[in-house]
Structure 1
Amino acid sequence: MKMMVFKGASIVVFSLCLLILNTAKGEEENKNGGNPVWNFLFGGKETHTYNSPLKPPMTTGESGNASTAYVRWGRDVCNPDTSETVYTGYVGGGSHAHKGGGTNPLCLPETPEYDDTLTVNGGSRSPIFGAEYETNTYSPFSYVHDSDTVCALCLARGRSTTSMIPAKRTCPPGWTKEYGGLLMGSHNGHYGHDFLCIDRNPQGRSGSSASKDGFLLYAVEGTCGSLPCPPYVSGKEISCVVCSR
């Protein structure tokens, strides 16, 4: 009889000890991610981690799988020192003379693919036109006047974002310069479109020099008023740079 009472008391004491250890284990894990007493007694090979810190964000210089794409307007090849060329093509957009012709220029691939199952005869369409440089009055770019504008889609590996910075020629500290050039946009008497950073050494599509007047690109210049002068200068062309990080 005494033996049974002793065994029963032992079981109760052992159960209380386990309860205390388990409580201490949870409290200690919440603080430090582990309980040394519990680990010593029972091996400590837990399958869960409590309050484990999040992995820190990727910092500059850590390549990982990060990459970012951007368009190099005005050239049909990417900067080999910073990026790789995904495809080359031609700039396209809405006509300068058509209202609602579209404000977002596209870099159209040299080799288009068509889905004939989606072709429907008749009805209205949204036309897209090739782009031309209108640079006869801007001497640094006059050699490409009326030429069709080319482009390239570029991939910068090891970086996660790109940005076009107007009115700058250099990138902020910690950023990589992909290319720089001249800010170009629509004529103030035409239907507007987005501003593009055209490479400072622009190319025209080979053999293109006829004036077709579709999507037109003009050099952008500062106009004083709400734009403060100085530091801006009225009538002076605006530079640009494309940076990645």
Structure 2
Amino acid sequence: MYFYLYTSDPSGSIYVRWGRKDCPTNPTEMVYSVFGMEYETNDFGSNLQDKDVPCAVCRVSHASTVLMIPGKSHCYSGWKTEYSGNLMSGHHGHAGASQYVCVDSSPDVLEAGSRDDNGYLLYGVKAYCGSLKCPPYVQDTLFKCVVCSK
């Protein structure tokens, strides 16, 4: 399936807002909304376990660059916050590729997505001292994240 974005202004940038069915307020527009993963935790909100994770593909016209910063909850000076949240990923012991995603701090679920299919599962990412410098990180705490644009 292909999705096309028709616009008279070709500038801008695209990003995925994980955990939400909508994009942040103007000047952001939604390109399309999809799903295909399950929350495998209740760490970030009650009653998330085994629910389907929504996401929205968003386009910002005011920026040419969008960046997800793990371990931070605020953007650097001069950058605009698109959304902030919690760093999540697939389990290191599961088969298949995985990547870190920033799931919105106010996560939604898909209404009809309550079957426990155990497809692609998302877990919260925790800090482990050793390869990470502690402090500023704290052993066994969940990572925050922020999506910034400029």
**TM-score, scaled to structure 1:** 0.55
The structure with the greater share of residues assigned to helix is 1
Question: 2:89 touches 2:100 (CA, 8 Å); kept in 1?
Answer: yes
- TM superposition shift of 1:158: 2.1
Note the residue ranges of structure 1 that are not aligned, 5 or more in a row.
1-63, 91-129
Pairing partner for 1:135 from 15, 31, 41:
41
- TM superposition shift of 1:176: 0.7
Distance 1:190 1:234 in 2: 23
In the superposition, relative to structure 1, how do residues 135 and 142 fare at CA in structure 2: closer, same or farther (>3 Å)?
Answer: farther
Confirm or deny that 1:72 pairs with 2:29. no
- TM superposition shift of 1:210: 2.0
Distance 1:163 1:185 in 2: 17
- TM superposition shift of 1:65: 5.3
Aligned-pair Cα RMSD in Å: 1.5
User: Could you tell me which residue of structure 1 aligns to residue 99 of structure 2?
Assistant: 194
Question: 2:34 touches 2:56 (CA, 8 Å); kept in 1?
Answer: yes
Could you list the runs of 4 or more consecutive aligned residues of structure 1 that deviate by over 4 angstroms after TM superposition? none
The one-letter amino acid paired with 2:125 is V
Distance 2:40 2:134 in 1: 26
The one-letter amino acid paired with 2:37 is A
The one-letter amino acid paired with 2:38 is E
SS in 1 for 2:123: strand
SS in 1 for 2:47: helix
Distance 2:127 2:22 in 1: 30
The one-letter amino acid paired with 1:74 is G
Distance 1:216 1:82 in 2: 32
Confirm or deny that 1:205 pairs with 2:110. yes
The one-letter amino acid paired with 1:220 is V
In the superposition, relative to structure 1, how do residues 148 and 77 fare at CA in structure 2: closer, same or farther (>3 Å)?
Answer: same
**TM-score, scaled to structure 2:** 0.88
The structure with the greater share of residues assigned to strand is 2
Residues 163-220 of structure 1 show CA distances to partners (whole Å, capped at 9, x for unaligned) of 0001111111111100010000122322350011001111111122221101000000
Which has the larger Rg?
1
Q: Within 5 Å, give how 1:1-245 maps onto structure 2.
A: 66-90=11-35, 130-136=36-42, 138=43, 140-191=44-95, 192-245=97-150
Q: Percent identity?
A: 44
Distance 1:213 1:65 in 2: 39
Higher relative contact order structure (alpha carbons within 8 Å, sequence separation ≥ 6): 2
Q: Which moved more, 1:140-149 or 1:71-80?
A: 140-149
Note the residue ranges of structure 2 that are not aligned, 5 or more in a row.
1-8
